[in-house]
């Protein structure tokens, strides 16, 4: 999918990258500045204890070897300052001993920090692999549709969350699901993986879309707790011109036809997946006409419940009307950028957008790279 738009949260990491090459030189500059001040005012050993700030700062940017080198430089120059200022041997020895202790402590701290960074990098690589397995990249075209996806985990370090989506081409037509697991963290990720696994299998096996939903429901009933559930919209395109939609307690998709945005409200509200046994209600199958140029946006509540500083929700329908075009990837990218601007750069919940477009028969869309997923730098946040 296309790159993330440039917003303040995206510029912030770039500023850090721009400053990073200067940071390793900062401890040396501090040492030189302190020595220069000491030489100018002639106070000598008075400035030696402050030289310990150099290895302390080096510990935040470099490894143990760099910290020891900065500490050695500070000690050598500290001795020079003490001799030049005719400092008493006892006073100079205490100052240098303090500098040595601080240097050794900072070197140990730097070693521990480096080890933790390596562990964190390994965890992030596992999260990346888990995301690719769970939220598999979606091509820019699936069956007759143009498709674009945008997904952002609220915690950028986690890379994945409780929102889910999938779109597959089956013998029964193109089928897709967008959902939101109750809760957060690893339990939500595990439930999302369960739903997606059952959906991908049932979508190929079951001719009836309601049977696909029923299989997901049975699997969740066996594996979820009494307070757990998943809101979801499951859709299918079994034949030309007809789109089937099953809404299980999820936010209504938005249908775009002739530049008019209309929410697809369920005819009869149905409970979320995992709660059917408690309510006894079953979802309805809605059949919508879906012609050339029509678009359908599915999303999670992390989008519509995003608030700005005035506690106002993001107006997704209005945003979709403003940004609708012939390229779904451009539309969702614009929506995502506007969403980030609305919340001030950081989302506090997982957010997913999936847009389908039926191109006109006369259109010949150029092939594009798989849309995949895009995460917001936490997130954004």
d(CA 161, CA 152): 9
d(CA 163, CA 199): 14
- The residue behind tokens 């020891």 is 68
Map residue 355 onto helix, strand or coil: strand
For 129, the token pair is 């692999």
- Average pLDDT estimate for 338-347: 89
- Average pLDDT estimate for 217-241: 90
Confidence band of 260 (pLDDT split at 50, 70, 90): very high
286 strand-pairing partners: 245
DSSP state, 44?
G
pLDDT of residue 45: 64
pLDDT of residue 132: 65
The answer to whether residue 366 scores a pLDDT higher than 60 is: no
DSSP state, 273?
B
Q: In what order do the strands lie in the sheet with 145-152?
A: 141-142, 145-152, 351-357, 295-299, 254-257, 260-263
Cβ atoms of residues 348 and 308 within 8 Å = no
Confidence band of 11 (pLDDT split at 50, 70, 90): very low
d(CA 168, CA 140): 12
Which backbone phi and psi does 366 adopt, to 5 degrees? -70, 140
Cβ atoms of residues 7 and 345 within 8 Å = yes
If you count them, how many residues does the chain have? Answer: 381
pLDDT of residue 364: 53
pLDDT of residue 88: 63
Q: What's the Cα-to-Cα distance from 185 to each of 155, 166, 251, rounded to whole Å?
A: 10, 20, 22
For 161, the token pair is 């969350």
d(CA 264, CA 208): 20
Domain ranges of the chain: 8-129, 135-357
d(CA 266, CA 274): 18
pLDDT tens for 207-219 read 999 999 999 999 9
**Sequence-ordered list of residues with C-beta below 8 angstroms from that of 302, at least 6 positions apart, any chain:** 152, 154, 163, 180, 347, 349, 350, 351, 352
Give the global pTM. Answer: 0.69
Instruction: Kindly report the average pLDDT of the chain as a whole number.
Output: 81
pLDDT tens for 104-148 read 998 898 899 888 888 877 776 766 666 666 778 889 999 999 999
Higher pLDDT, 319 or 94: 319
The answer to whether residue 238 scores a pLDDT higher than 60 is: yes
pLDDT tens for 160-189 read 667 899 999 999 999 999 999 987 767 788
pLDDT of residue 101: 87
Looking at domain 135-357, its CATH architecture is: 4-Layer Sandwich (3.60)
pLDDT of residue 17: 41
């Amino acid at each position: 999918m296309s790159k993330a738009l440039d917003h303040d949260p995206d510029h912030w990491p770039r500023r850090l990258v721009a400053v990073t090459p200067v940071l390793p030189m900062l401890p040396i500059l501090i040492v030189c500045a302190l020595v220069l001040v000491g030489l100018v005012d002639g106070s000598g050993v008075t400035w030696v204890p402050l030289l310990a700030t150099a290895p302390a700062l080096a510990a935040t940017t470099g490894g143990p070897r760099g910290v020891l080198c900065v500490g050695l430089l500070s000690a050598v120059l500290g001795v020079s300052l003490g001799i030049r200022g005719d400092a008493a041997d006892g006073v100079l020895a205490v100052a240098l001993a303090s500098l040595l202790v601080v240097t050794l402590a900072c070197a140990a701290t730097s070693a521990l920090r480096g080890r933790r960074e390596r562990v964190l990098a390994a965890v992030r690589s596992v999260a990346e692999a888990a995301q690719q397995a769970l939220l598999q990249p979606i091509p820019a075209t699936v069956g007759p549709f143009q498709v674009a996806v945008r997904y952002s985990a609220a915690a950028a370090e986690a890379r994945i969350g409780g929102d889910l989506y999938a779109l597959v081409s089956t013998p029964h037509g193109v089928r897709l699901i967008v959902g939101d697991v109750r809760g957060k963290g690893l339990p939500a990720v595990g439930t999302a993986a369960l739903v997606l696994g059952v959906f991908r299998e049932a979508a190929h096996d079951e001719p009836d879309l309601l049977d696909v939903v029923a299989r997901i429901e049975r699997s969740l009933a066996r594996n979820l707790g009494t307070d757990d559930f998943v809101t979801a919209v499951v859709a299918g395109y079994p034949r030309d011109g007809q789109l089937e939609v099953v809404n299980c307690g999820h936010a209504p998709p938005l249908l775009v036809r002739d530049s008019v945005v209309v929410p697809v409200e369920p005819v009869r509200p149905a409970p979320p997946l995992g709660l059917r046994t408690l309510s006894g209600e079953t979802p309805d199958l809605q059949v919508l006409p879906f012609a050339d140029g029509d678009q359908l946006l599915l999303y999670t509540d992390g989008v519509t419940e995003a608030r700005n500083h005035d506690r106002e929700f993001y107006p997704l329908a209005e945003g979709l009307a403003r940004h609708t075009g012939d390229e779904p990837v451009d539309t969702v990218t614009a929506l995502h950028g506007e969403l980030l601007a609305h919340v001030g750069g950081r989302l506090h919940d997982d957010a997913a957008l999936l847009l389908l477009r039926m191109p006109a028969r006369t259109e010949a869309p150029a092939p594009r790279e798989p849309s995949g997923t895009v995460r917001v730098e936490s997130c954004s946040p």
